[in-house]
Structure 1
């Protein structure tokens, strides 16, 4: 009886199947699971600067890119009030965050949150300088417009939908 050729064929097929499986699934052995990666699921930046935590900070701007309004929340992790200076382009504003408190740009007057003289149109990133307690950092902050409904109330000068957007089309149809 001669079993050697059949066994070699079976062994070759088995070895080939193992190699194919390793080739197809081998990357999962070395790749990190995407569900274990922590990230900030927000439209704005999430950064820490000394005792100040910046959460979902972004700029809602106008089409000409000259004016923008800050949106987001900043937290103070100390029990003493902290001053935060914000500069972008030629614009500057300063806010005070109470000890162990938070400051929501959406809840404040436009004087605290409006930046005049920006050079970033919606869809771009603008370098914004943040400074507090002698610590300073520059972050790339996104500029959005009123396309997303949740930001329409914050567009300086108000939001006007483009004619191709459903709201404008519906309003035009009602006016006929």
Structure 2
């Protein structure tokens, strides 16, 4: 009888250990890996327009909200040159186009360095905390509209990248 009791205890222990193992580690088998999810790790947002990648798009407003400086990195992964078209609507409803040339296999940044190339928008009528709709289009690829976050230029991280105030401060 002792042999049967020991076998029953060993079987019960193995069953409990198996249930505990599956219960604590089983989620890893059915949950998708989070590192495979694409996301924007910074304050800006991004998208792909055909083979051109638009990354970390962010608008930085000046003190009086009269202008924003667009921060964006554009990656042309194609072997051909072209122009990336940006389009936004001004405060009075007019559609404004901005065209930026891209060479083949080029990475181009705007508004990311104090003395670097910039894209300044003075007529969008947006304030810090709002979203600025900008449509991006390249070549024959279908374009995409991004709702670009507008951040105040008094933020310590972005203060050097904000456009000058129209009030001359």
TM-score with structure 1 setting the length = 0.67
* Distance in 1, Cα, partners of 2:11 & 2:84: 73
The answer to whether the 8 A contact 1:80-1:99 is kept is yes
Verify the 8 A CA contact 2:71 2:109 in the aligned structure 1.
yes
**RMSD of the TM alignment (CA)?**
3.1
Q: Does 1:127 align with 2:94?
A: no
Match of 1:144 among 137, 151, 161: 151
Offset at residue 155 of structure 1 (A): 2.0
Instruction: Tell me the distance in 1 between the aligned counterparts of 2:61 and 2:32.
Output: 37
Whether the 8 Å contact between 1:51 and 1:78 is mirrored in structure 2 is: no
Contact 2:85 2:138 in 1 (8 A): yes
When the two structures are superposed, what TM-score results if normalisation uses the length of structure 2? 0.69
Q: How far did residue 157 of structure 1 move?
A: 3.6
Q: Does 1:95 align with 2:104?
A: no
Taking a change above 3 Å as real, the CA distance of residues 74 and 113 of structure 1, as seen in their structure-2 partners, is farther
Q: Which residue of 1 aligns with 2:110?
A: 105
Where does the alignment leave 5 or more consecutive residues of structure 1 unmatched? 159-176
Secondary structure at 1:79 match in 2: coil
8 Å contact kept, 2:86–2:134: no
Query: Larger helix proportion, structure 1 or 2?
Result: 1
Q: List alignment gaps of at least 5 residues for structure 2.
A: none
